[in-house]
Amino acid sequence: MPARKQTKAPPVMAEADIAIVRIAPETSFKNKAYEALKEAILKMDIYATPEQVMLDERALSERLGVSRTPIREAIAMLEQDGFVKTVPRRGIVVVRRTKTEIVDMIRAWAALESMAARLITTTARKKDITALRDFFKDFGKDRLPQDHVEEYSKANIAFHQALISLSESPVLVDLTNDLLLHVRGYRQLTIGRKDRTATSLPEHLGIIEALEARDTELAEKRARDHTLGLAAYVEAHGQELFS
SS3 of the chain: helix, strand, coil, percent, to 5: 65, 5, 35
Q: Which does 104 bind (CB under 5 to 8 A by kind): a copy of itself, DNA, none?
A: a copy of itself
Asked if 28 interacts with DNA (CB under 7 A), we say yes
Asked if 230 interacts with a copy of itself (CB under 8 A), we say no
Element holding 55 (H helix, E strand): strand 54-55
What mask, x for binding a copy of itself by CB under 8 A, covers residues 10 to 49? Answer: ---------------x--x-x-------------------
Report which of 61, 62, 67, 91 is spatially closest to residue 79, judged by C-alpha positions: 91
Task: Pick from 37, 84, 92, 180 the residue near DNA by CB under 7 A.
Answer: 92
Least distance from a copy of itself to the Cβ atom of residue 85, Å? 12
3 state DSSP class of 206: helix
Least distance from DNA to the Cβ atom of residue 21, Å? 12
Element holding 222 (H helix, E strand): helix 216-237
The whole-angstrom separation of Cα 66 and Cα 44 is 22
Check: CB of residue 47 under 8 Å from CB of residue 2: no
The whole-angstrom separation of Cα 235 and Cα 99 is 7
Number of residues near a copy of itself (by CB under 8 A): 31
**What does each C-alpha distance from 56 to 51, 75, 223 come to in angstroms?**
16, 10, 42
Query: Segment 63-82, which members bind a copy of itself (CB under 8 A)?
Result: 69, 72-74, 76-77, 79-81
Task: Pick from 7, 9, 10, 20 the residue near DNA by CB under 7 A.
Answer: 10
Q: Which does 57 bind (CB under 5 to 8 A by kind): a copy of itself, DNA, none?
A: DNA
Which residue, 77 or 205, has its beta carbon nearer to DNA?
77
The whole-angstrom separation of Cα 154 and Cα 86 is 32
Element holding 91 (H helix, E strand): strand 91-94
Least distance from DNA to the Cβ atom of residue 177, Å? 23
Check: CB of residue 106 under 8 Å from CB of residue 183: yes
Which residue, 15 or 150, has its beta carbon nearer to DNA?
15
The contact set with a copy of itself (CB under 8 A) reads 25, 28, 30, 69, 72-74, 76-77, 79-81, 88, 101, 104-105, 107-108, 110-112, 114-115, 119, 169-172, 175, 179, 224
